[in-house]
Structure 1
Amino acid sequence: MKKFLFLVIILSNFNSYIIGNNTKGLLKQPLGIFLTWQQDPTTTMTIDWHVESEETRESVFRYRISGENSAWTLDTASQYPFPFSERTIQRIEVTGLNAGTEYEFKLGDYQRIYKFRTMPENNFRPIRFVDGGDVSTGERFRTMNKIAMKYDPDFIIWGGDLAYANAKKDNLKAWYKWFDGIKEDLITEDGRVVPIVLTIGNHDVTNHHYPYAESTMKEKGMWYDFIKQVKSNQFPESTTEWRNENAPFYYGLFAFPGHPGYGVLDFGSYLSLICLDSSHSNLVSGKQTDWLENVLQQRAGKMAHIIPFYHKQAYPSKRVHPGGVRSQFWSVQIFKNWVPLFEKYGVKVALEHDDHTFKRTYPLLKDRIAPSGIVYIGDGAWGVDPETPKTPDEVWYLEKTASMNHVVVVTLQGPFQHFLMINNEGKAIDEYPETPKVSQ
């Protein structure tokens, strides 16, 4: 009798699975789904979905404004290989959308109906996004995903070190797990998929930096020659071939705005989000710095908010000697090449990552504390084990540090910016600027 009941339960669960995931041959959802932008987020959206390569799944993308029950608009996705995998990426960029509008969409012949929101034409209403970096794939990653979603973000930005696969094909399953976390955590109950904007980190490429890792250069006795060449702008810029070979997942899995490795997203006329490559697949100096100055010069005084984000830091919290001397060549490069441009063209806050800690600096101008300076926030501890930062007593530019996982909840409205730092227990650990306390 017990064996009979056990069999009934097994068959019941199997039937429930079939009914829930396959109705008249329609699978409920794809293997992976990822939304981002290549152009103005007020009128476009780029959608990826992943399928098994041997499956002859439809490439048709259907969308319409939510709630209107009108006919679906149909388009056809392009197909791209998922590096080192049996999967295929279906990708489509939808343009000409209405600003500030919710759309519903269907992917091929999958059953589930999803939603996305275009960004509003202006920021009269609060614009909210969540920043973090050093993402990983484990339990901490999933915890912070869920905490981020409590703030109903318009989008998420991740500042590098995504799945910690180190560009190795043997680590393919890390990417599967990473996309599983996105599919399971970063879609609301009613099906809204949160777009994600990315930049590259050292664990997204082979050897951590372009063209070689510091340790490799030292072993070959080339390190000082390399530094000399970079400082004199004599080192060659990276190529498409180099990037595809040394960052096959990063460049194979995602669509980006602008130049491979760095670009800018303009949200209407209120936000320029500048995605930078801190010398992982492109040099900090040279073409990227020239490009950055041009981008900042064109937007200064025209955009209410100009926010750069990148992996390595100009003002690190862990990789810094007591007193404030940077311990990494890459941080020195960012400090010398990018920071003067941030200061010249009116950047108020820059988002940094990499150290697996939390930090917020004082407002800084010309490497001094100044009320009109730039605040550097972050240091990348979304899903990794936190490291121990230097304290404000040890390093002059640090106003607050902590060893804990965190996300940065950014709210923009009109000309105002607000940054709220939330830890892995869902508690606020810092705020900038601090909300004035109302006296009783």
Structure 2
Amino acid sequence: MQVLVLLGVFVRHNVRHVSLTEPAVTAGLDLAGAMGAVRITAVEAIPFAVPYRRPARFASGQVDTADNVLVRVHTDAGVVGSAEAQPRPYTYGETQASIVSLVRDVLAPRVVGLDPLAVEQIHARCATIAGNQVARASIDLAAWDAVGRLLGVSCSRLLGGFAPDVPAAHMLSFDEPAAMAEEALAVHAELGVTTFKVKVGREPDVDVAAVRAVREALPAAALYVDANRGWSLPDAQRAGDALVELGVSAIEEPIAVEDHAGRRRLTERWSVPLVGDESAISLDHVERAIDGGEVRAISLKTARTGFTESRRILGLCLGRGVPIHVGSQYEGRLGALASVAFAAAHAETAVRPAEVTNFLDLSGDLLAGLPVVRDGRVAVPAGPGLGADVDEDALHRYREDR
């Protein structure tokens, strides 16, 4: 059965839906030659906005509303693949408007007419555009979703299928230390989550107090921190040293990405890894950061490197012996499903907590139900592709181009 499904990835076909039964898969293979290749016929970029229940605050910015973009890849088989793009203008320079414009006017003409199964070709066509990582990644993710739907297989299974679920990590954004500890307690009690990323990058004393409050509230929890480049080098040295004593397992992007010498000093100073995130926005960036001795671990985000480039980054990190985990851009449910799919697909990422719970901070969503967090873990949905369909009524309510 597994062989038949994987063979379907390499055979051009035009089957509108293939279930996970052997006769159906075989029928799809038999029809391949007669019906020709599936083609991408159109690409949509739909801006939408969903308010947060409370602002997400961190050293590099604040997000009050998820001003995201739904990207859809349409095929002549009647199958549509979807992805969620999350702009981060204070990090990558991309905005909701720039993503919509680039997808509609530049990337769509490059991929229309291609077979969605030709994910490497789609990636190559989009990669000729410099920067714009999130826009390019959204095309890649939507194409993979379409492929999974065409074959009747989950994206996670197509990517590797290592595990049925992944452990979840929850991010705690800026607040008073007591409030951050209360949030951690509530998430732990409701969802069973035991790993937390604590946002830091303020005054060192405040950051240390916040982490100490969470540690005292949940003594057995696994904690790591993310400064989003908010510290100066002296503050990073002072805060980082204290946080290591509090038992944090990693420190993410403590200072400016451009301070290469300072980053190397911190990497050598601390017993825990300095994690690359804003410095790891592409395969090239990851390679330079590792080779320059500036990081000892990588936060991978499918929202900015899609599945195709993310696989290359994972391979590079495995070859260099650098730990890697799946991070978050405070995405909605559809973006979280992409993170879950990739994390669960690979042995290296499936055993590390993935940042996949912060869609719960939104006041609404384009999806209903999925993903589900239970006992601190998130399961790969049973459905094909990313495993969930956009609620058209919700899209109508939140879209901004009506």
- TM-score, scaled relative to structure 2: 0.32
Judging by fraction of residues, say which structure has more helix.
Answer: 2
- Which structure has more relative contact order (CA 8 Å, sep 6+)? It is 2
Q: Which has the larger radius of gyration?
A: 1
